[in-house]
A and B are shown apart, each in its own frame.
Chain A
């Protein structure tokens, strides 16, 4: 179990490393597509109730813009 979980963490770390090495500096006037409303890095307001039912009906929570624990009679 520890080896398997370490594999997932290593995979995330490798993705982070590759993304850092290929980054280019994007100036403000070049951010037309990055500033599009669909490109926002996060859950949207309309997804609030979906995240709420997922926190009630599933054992895991967190890092998705919802609660990581507490605030409701959920898991």
Chain B
């Protein structure tokens, strides 16, 4: 009897298992882990060196020699929630160490002052939520920056939505920076009321910047996609740098004075095209105008040549041209009656060329066979400006997954 019951139970279980395989539902979703996972780590290091003879610290003349060593690490975590929305958390930390021969001239009498070198720290965090079902993403970010004479806090939000066929996407971003500029005047312009000495606290003034960005991306065909960009930016507060000297035509020296507001409108277009099977052409054009009278055009062209599917070489060229702002004049050219004045050649009329190349390797099995070490990229560029200014920059990016 016992044996018959066991056989019947066994038959019943076999019967049940034959109906255990159900048809997958049409809207079944691939399983996605809800654990927080480390998705990607990037190290970016850059060395930059420049030289010229129009330093704004010494009134538009003098050395512009400067070196900067920048290091950035960003770490990306991701997880899915109960509604299958992807949450991405990015932590970024940057540190720049720079030395500047022109900043050293804030005190003209010192052989070498504390302003000859500085360190800048800039951490940031961001959170992005992507909903594949609704084809939307929403993000917020916060950032900070600290160097000897400048402190910044930033906040931003972003939103984007794709079309039903995922061929179009519109995006919107808003960003605010609430900054404080330390009022460090050239040594000869300091009085007892505007200076406390080199190592004491300097008075500060605020500089606030607000910007909004609109983007529209469009897939044209299987090889071409476009991106249109428009920014609107407004700055208010202390917009000059107090240690920039201006020598008037009567030989008197003053600290740079610029208006307390600035409205900027850059508009841009990116176009990427896959030519044949081995060449990707990346192009970018920007038109910029602001209410200080500066108008500029910028054209970038980069050609990524795929030597193999995982190794590419990318020569690039960038041409930039700008007009001067209304308040710029060279050394000893400003009139004493001018309300606003600067001899900062970064705001003068010039054109520039930036040329270089990059090399990228990203094998599927990883660098040196390590699957976590996914990519190395190195890039060098030479920058030449028509104001007898030139610079070189070399950068390295290591990616780990």
Contact = CB atoms under 8 A, between A and B. Distances in A.
B295 A37 contact: no
A11 B75 CA distance: 40
B211 A62 contact: yes
Interface string B345-389: 011000010100010001000000000000001010101010001
Max count, chain A CB within 10 A of own CB: residue among B120, B149, B227, B346: B346
A73 to B, nearest CB: 4
User: Chain B CB within 10 Å — which of A12, A32, A56, A57 has the most?
Assistant: A57
Nearest to B352: A58
Contact of A59 (B270, B346, B362): B346
Interface string B317-360: 00010100100000000000000000000110000101000100
Determine which residue in A27, A47, A59 has the highest number of CB atoms from chain B within 10 A of its CB, and name it. Answer: A59
B288 interface: yes
Given A38-B312, A46-B395, A60-B294, A73 B44 contact: no
Interface in B201-243: 207-209, 211, 213, 217-223, 225-231, 233-235, 241
B135 to A, nearest CB: 13
A70 B295 contact: no
A69 B266 contact: no
Contacts of A40: 272
A6 to B, nearest CB: 11
Contacts of B143: 71
Interface string A38-53: 1111101111111011
A72 B276 CA distance: 42
Nearest to B164: A25
Contacts of B393: 49-50, 53
Interface stretch (B3-11, B26-34, B279-287): B279-287
Given A56-B346, A60-B322, A15 B220 contact: no
Does more than half of chain A's interface fall in helix, strand or loop, or is it mixed? loop
B304 A38 contact: yes
B286 A50 contact: no
Nearest to A49: B46
Contacts of B312: 38
A3 interface: no
B99 interface: no
A29 B77 CA distance: 28
Interface residues of B, number: 95
B167 A25 contact: yes
Contacts of B149: 73
A69 B270 contact: no
Interface string B240-255: 0100000000000000
A28 B267 contact: no
Nearest to A12: B269
Contact of B219 (A26, A62, A69): A26
A28 B168 CA distance: 13
Contacts of B159: none
Contacts of A68: 175, 209, 211, 213, 231, 233, 264, 266
Given A12-B287, A59-B325, A71 B220 contact: no
B209 A71 contact: yes
B152 interface: yes
Interface of B: 42, 44, 46, 48, 50, 68, 70, 72, 74, 120, 143, 145, 147, 149-150, 152, 154, 165-167, 175-177, 179, 181, 207-209, 211, 213, 217-223, 225-231, 233-235, 241, 262, 264, 266-270, 272, 274, 280, 282, 284, 286-290, 292, 294-298, 304, 306, 312, 314, 320, 322, 325, 346-347, 352, 354, 358, 362, 377, 379, 381, 383, 385, 389, 391, 393, 395-397
Given A22-B220, A57-B385, A64-B268, 11 more contacts: A25-B165, A27-B165, A48-B46, A49-B393, A50-B393, A58-B352, A60-B320, A62-B233, A69-B262, A71-B152, A72-B120
Interface of A: 1, 5, 8-9, 12, 15-16, 19-20, 22-28, 30-34, 36-42, 44-50, 52-54, 56-64, 67-73, 75
